[in-house]
Structure 1
């Protein structure tokens, strides 16, 4: 059983491969399966129909230094898919 199953989304995996439709199964903090997971059970199901599903994005040229003072959890970055900033270049 998955902790989280993301269903119906279009996968952009960052490999350079063309996007494709698939489900994503997550156990703990790891993706453990990608494909047709319609028969699998999950504690939580997220419907991603009409949306893209991708790993986080790294921003190598950011000016987020000052925004950390105002938002120490960097919610504005996470909401846009950025999961890592390289600051103080």
Structure 2
């Protein structure tokens, strides 16, 4: 029997609005949140994950995240609370 092509790992619970990107160096960055914006990262293809980092509290995922392919910077778009609200950008 062949190995599975896809393995599932729970990286957060009881939250919504997940987003995920992969940097040019292969680091996976996941963000999520409704009451606060949180993040975890993996440098081994998703086998293991860092501890949760709180990006903004209060915070609300607003438009996801993207990665600059030239610099590797991960850009996170967030709002202070549920829309409509002030929008912030973190790099």
Question: TM exceeds 0.5?
Answer: no
Interval of TM-score (by shorter of Structure 1 and Structure 2):
under 0.3
TM-score, length of structure 2 as denominator length: 0.23
Structure number with the bigger relative contact order (C-alpha 8 A, sep ≥ 6) is 1
Whichever structure has more helix as a proportion of its residues is 1
